[in-house]
Amino acid sequence: EERFIAVAAQLWAFDRRSARACFHAADVDSSGRMSRQEYVLFREAFIHPQSEYSSHEAVLSLQLRAVFHKYVLSRPAQRHSYDGAMTSDELFEFVRDLCAGDAHTRQVASNLLPLLLRT
């Protein structure tokens, strides 16, 4: 896990929390290591998100598991518990991250900037 986090930070600029979430989401068999198949699925889900497989059920499932890991399983003593649910604070943080994301920012900017430039 620690090696993966270091490599993900260096190669793909993942922050520690996101790298841990991706690792635990991709480690389907909970072995603490990524198999070749798990790694390929990880790359399709997080490194090449606009590939021909981006709408495949397994890729979408992995992305949702990573979101769950990032916001819920980062709690102390919750790393391997899948029975939890997001608290209101975790949901608020998730929505804040969504709104701060590049896609949302571009959409808002494309709608607002033409209006602001006209005035």
Report domain extents, the chain. Answer: 2-83, 86-119
Residues 87, 79: Cα–Cα separation, whole Å? 16
Average pLDDT over residues 80-86: 61
Predicted confidence (pLDDT) per residue in 11-21, tens digit: 999 988 889 98
Residues 103, 92: Cα–Cα separation, whole Å? 18
Residue 50 — very low, low, confident or very high, per pLDDT cuts 50/70/90?
confident
Residues 8-37 as b/e (b if ≥16 CB within 10 A, e otherwise) read beeeeebeeebbbbbbbbbbbeeeeebeee
Predicted pLDDT at 6? 92
